[in-house]
Structure 1
Amino acid sequence: MKKYIYLFLILTVPGINGCKKDYLNRQPTDTQNTTNFYKTPAQFTQAINGAYAPLQGLYNGSFWAMGEMRSDNTSYEFNPNDRSGTNKEEIDEFRELNNNDLVGAFFNASYTGIGRCNVILARLPAAKLDAAVADTITGQASFLRAFNYFNVVRMFGDVPLVLTEVQSVGEAYKVATKAHVADVYNQIIADAQLAITKLPVKYTGTANKGRVTKGTAETMLAEVYMTQKKFDLAIPLLRNVITSNAYSLNANYADNFDITKENGPESIFEIQYIEGPNGLGSDFMDTFIPWDYYDSDVTGFEIANGAQNGWNIPTHDLITAYEAGDKRRAASVIEFTSDEFGIDLPFIKKYQSISAVQGITGNNFPVYRYSDVYLMLAECLNEQGFAGGGDAFRYLNLVRHRAGLKDKTAGNSNPALNVATQDAFRDAIAHERQVELCFENHRWFDLLRTGKAAAVMIAHGAREKTFKKPYWTVNSAAYSNIRLLFQYPLNEGNLEH
């Protein structure tokens, strides 16, 4: 059975004392509570595992809808018989309101993770742990807090910046006020920089698989700097990841998504899942397979034919982005003609596995892969100045080689492979990232980061409506307002003073 980081719910708010006499206020010594828990290395390991836990629900639930369906990479298969999935349709078509439950779930899960990190970082100094143990815990908590903030600030803009342990309802109201985006980014950078100094390059022991490393923190901080257009600061971080020799490209692209080869040499960070009735499984394939795919060969079970299926469906924009001979296409999508509509409707293959129980698989979700580092570095080098035969081309083509494609070069006699200007290289990187990292929640953030989101999605929306209208109902408001930020969740907005 696959080793994984075991996850626990950590209670962070002390019990309310109802009497002033000390002997009535004492906590029981034979059970774990807030006065006797955060003491030992084992307890802090349990606590940090609990800080990873919200990421499982985040990636199982709302992240792919907000990070991939929001983009031109994926959409959905309309289900005329079960209309209970409209919250996802609204996100895909930029129609969601501030009470959309998926958007609220994303926000809440992110702040649950942030809150658990705050408790760990607050309690750690008093525990007097061995320095090496304390450093590893500090590094993980600092990274996870930064990672959650990086996600919410890109999704929502101004958000509350909570950095202390919240111990009462009154305190919760006080910290609900939004902070400026710049202040949130300053904290993300500070946390990531601290994590880099505390985390190991790698761990020993299979029980530590899935924990973040120095390379994870460097990769995330590089992406933060790229989001801020500080490409000169991202370059040394990405070079550090490469020269660490801790990672390498898999020879076979599909190995990145093989359930038997998870946490492999290309993995910099992936969300861990384990098959079985333990609440730690993933359900990606059952969610992404079309609801009218009636065979059982993909998941081992017949599809339930309801609104829980048919999401994150690859678009024609994505399918046509693949070059002839690109090996990544067969590893990423399954070709399918819809039984209901009679149209080509491919679906995601990356997360395919046969499980013993329907909807409970052990497929991990990749967050950062080594190929991403190559493409990020190529982009940063090009932003510093176009060089026809420079390292930017080398890193770009390393990724293309693995896909079975020919080099792109400046002055190539083949127009499809000729990249002769800085703008042309930007387009080449955007294209390569789209097909290399599809279905891994990068595309929407890439469009935001490069300033292309509005133009790309307006054009994509027009194509999508033209494609869908002959076969199913398309809301008249679809793609009519390309918002770059999600609306702030209604319940959270009500907490602000």
Structure 2
Amino acid sequence: MKKFLSLILLFGAMSCDSFLEEPARSTPTLNEIFNSESAAVSFVNGAYANMLENDWWQINFFRQITDMATDDGWAGNTEQPRPDITSIAHYNNIDIGSSYFQTFWNYQFRGIAKCNVIIQEIENVDFDEDLKNRLIGEAKFLRGFFYFELVKNFGGVPIVKTFDELLQADVTKYSRSSEQEVYSLIEEDFLDAIERLPLKSQYSSNDLGRATKGAAQAFLAKVYLYQERWDEVVTLTKQIIDSGQYQLESDFARVWNVTNPNGIESIFEVQYKSDPTFRVGGVFGVTTGSRNDGGWNWGVPSSHLEKAFLDEGDIIRLRSTIIKHGEPVFGDPEVTSFNAAPDRNKSGRINRKFYIPQEHRAIPYVQTNLPLNHILMRYADVILMHSEASFNIGNRSEALNSLATIRQRVNLTTDMSLSGDALRDAIWKERRLELALEQQRLYDIRRQKINGTPVINTIFGPNGSFVVYNTQVSDDSFELANINEDQAKGRTFDPSKHLLWPIPTSEIQLSNGRIVQNPNY
């Protein structure tokens, strides 16, 4: 905990730059820094930065690893052996001291600390009350988001609600709150944010990308989804649908198009732009790209995912999700035969959603200089949450109608006679295909249950469906030819521990053991 506290105490200089122009005299107090409308806005802007840091290894790469740890992808890069990455992706001797867990944990608490300062200090600053109310709403939304990221990855974590708690208390006294206690705080924050935040349409173009009422509703709906509180999910998703603020893109290819930032389907996305001087661009197009195309080959799609699209006859979403070696790149006429470097790439495939066509690439084309925004919540996800929750409260027709809405966009018909387990499975399959490679799959297969058993337990393990497919069924020429990444990925999955990631070792040590490790790590 001392480690995350030391990071927290550094944030002020990164959140407000006005005092940096003055010669150093003494350490400014919090009141001296947080003393104006511009300082309040800067603090909020600084909190947004912790959602997806633009450096690849801090938060972005951890998010990529979560997709590697599913049946949708492989670690991918077989040219550079990285057991620190593959051990997590394969559930094999995971290092509980991994810097990926530690850094992700630290950055969430760093963001929480920034939000706590805003919530604690903003009432002491005299400026426009409407703006002040909105900024509090943004801070509440962001704090809810950071705690949601922590609880869904690590389970119960320490709860810190004010900045003074850290300054006045011995941080080694902190211990883990229960999962339910964390969820309760998240719910409180999102509910407060809903009351304070404007609709997307009420923001000026300069403020697009800030948290909105719809974003707070959508994330709260997902919080309820993870807790199987189906009635609340239905209520919130229906409110979003009825608001008229969002639509499905008529063309699926526009969802992740670099020329369509903050589109009609986007509910919340991280804002990136190309700026090689200040390095405020994205990273995913490079880190997931081909090593023969300026990329690093991490987080590559599996043939198992491609087969799921083909089995469904879903060519429209497939071509906008996966680029395969030797084939043209959909939406990039300059590339008629893509080189995915299959000798250095486990699957000979890359993620199309994060790919930037040649004509839209920034110069230099490197990580932290990519202009593609990163979508964290979109309208299709809300419709699918509505479908799943409607099914679980027994409203079959509403579940089918929402399912059909998603499928109609990509010219797929829906069997309106579906019911029971078949309908449930159809909704889950649709989530996989619609949201593939968007860093949603791991959390879905952990929470989805059949007779009380998480779906991930049936995908991985010695007899898991993904393991059996890769070792006994698959005839994929790329994956079988490149055995530098173990074909039996996931056979060592242990359902008694791998439903959560380990608490970073340093946090346990620095808390003098008050923070307890997750089971069986």
Which range, TM-score by smaller chain?
Answer: 0.7 to 0.9
Is residue 2:86 matched to residue 1:89? yes
Runs of 4+ in 1 over 4 A off after TM superposition: 27-33, 166-170, 341-344, 465-470, 474-478
Letter of the 2:510 counterpart: L
In structure 2, distance between residues paired with 1:263 and 1:31? 40
TM-score by length of 2: 0.81
Q: 2:405 aligns to what?
A: 398
1:352-431 aligned within 5 A: 352-353=355-356, 354-359=361-366, 360-387=369-396, 390-410=397-417, 419=418, 421-431=419-429
In structure 2, distance between residues paired with 1:328 and 1:104? 35
Structure 2 vs 1, CA of residues 31 and 436 (structure 1 numbering), >3 Å: closer, same or farther?
Answer: same
Q: 1:18 aligns to what?
A: none
Letter of the 1:398 counterpart: T
Structure 2 vs 1, CA of residues 93 and 139 (structure 1 numbering), >3 Å: closer, same or farther?
Answer: same
Gaps in structure 1 of 5+ consecutive residues: 1-7, 14-26, 297-301, 304-308, 411-418
Contact between 1:365 and 1:440, CA under 8 Å: does it hold in 2?
Answer: no
1:84-163 aligned within 5 A: 85-95=82-92, 96-163=94-161
In structure 1, distance between residues paired with 2:307 and 2:342? 22
Contact between 1:78 and 1:472, CA under 8 Å: does it hold in 2?
Answer: no
**Alpha-carbon shift at residue 326 of structure 1 (Å):** 3.2
Q: 1:333 aligns to what?
A: 322
In structure 1, distance between residues paired with 2:38 and 2:168? 32
Note the alpha carbon deviations across 1:37-90, whole angstroms, 9 max, x for none. Answer: 323222111110000001122653311212x1222111122424x22x332212
In structure 2, distance between residues paired with 1:187 and 1:163? 9
Contact between 1:75 and 1:313, CA under 8 Å: does it hold in 2?
Answer: yes
In structure 2, distance between residues paired with 1:464 and 1:341? 19
In structure 1, distance between residues paired with 2:27 and 2:223? 42
Contact between 1:176 and 1:495, CA under 8 Å: does it hold in 2?
Answer: no
TM-score by length of 1: 0.84
Q: 1:192 aligns to what?
A: 190
Contact between 2:11 and 2:114, CA under 8 Å: does it hold in 1?
Answer: no
Contact between 2:384 and 2:431, CA under 8 Å: does it hold in 1?
Answer: yes
In structure 1, distance between residues paired with 2:459 and 2:408? 27
In structure 1, distance between residues paired with 2:117 and 2:415? 49
Match of 1:51 among 26, 47, 50: 47
Note the alpha carbon deviations across 1:141-195, whole angstroms, 9 max, x for none. Answer: 1111111111111111121111110576773624642111111111011111111
Match of 1:488 among 480, 499, 503: 503
In structure 2, distance between residues paired with 1:94 and 1:343? 17
SS in 1 for 2:85: helix
**Alpha-carbon shift at residue 113 of structure 1 (Å):** 0.8
Q: 2:37 aligns to what?
A: 41
When structure 1 is superposed on structure 2, of 126-135 and 352-361 the one drifting more is 126-135
Gaps in structure 2 of 5+ consecutive residues: 1-9, 16-22, 327-340, 449-453, 513-521
1:218-233 aligned within 5 A: 218-233=217-232
Structure 2 vs 1, CA of residues 340 and 176 (structure 1 numbering), >3 Å: closer, same or farther?
Answer: same
Structure 2 vs 1, CA of residues 210 and 29 (structure 1 numbering), >3 Å: closer, same or farther?
Answer: farther
Contact between 1:64 and 1:312, CA under 8 Å: does it hold in 2?
Answer: yes
Match of 1:459 among 452, 461, 465: 465
Contact between 2:76 and 2:485, CA under 8 Å: does it hold in 1?
Answer: no
Q: 1:16 aligns to what?
A: none
Q: 2:68 aligns to what?
A: 69
Structure 2 vs 1, CA of residues 469 and 317 (structure 1 numbering), >3 Å: closer, same or farther?
Answer: closer
**Alpha-carbon shift at residue 474 of structure 1 (Å):** 4.8
1:277-356 aligned within 5 A: 277=276, 278-291=278-291, 294=292, 296=293, 302-303=294-295, 309-322=296-309, 323-336=312-325, 338-340=341-343, 345-353=348-356, 354-356=361-363
When structure 1 is superposed on structure 2, of 127-136 and 107-116 the one drifting more is 127-136
In structure 1, distance between residues paired with 2:255 and 2:173? 40
Letter of the 1:479 counterpart: R
Structure 2 vs 1, CA of residues 175 and 163 (structure 1 numbering), >3 Å: closer, same or farther?
Answer: farther
Over the aligned positions, Cα root-mean-square deviation in angstroms equals 2.6
Letter of the 1:326 counterpart: I
Structure 2 vs 1, CA of residues 347 and 426 (structure 1 numbering), >3 Å: closer, same or farther?
Answer: same
Structure 2 vs 1, CA of residues 236 and 196 (structure 1 numbering), >3 Å: closer, same or farther?
Answer: same
In structure 2, distance between residues paired with 1:440 and 1:320? 18
**Alpha-carbon shift at residue 371 of structure 1 (Å):** 0.8
In structure 2, distance between residues paired with 1:201 and 1:36? 33
Q: 2:483 aligns to what?
A: 472
In structure 2, distance between residues paired with 1:243 and 1:382? 19
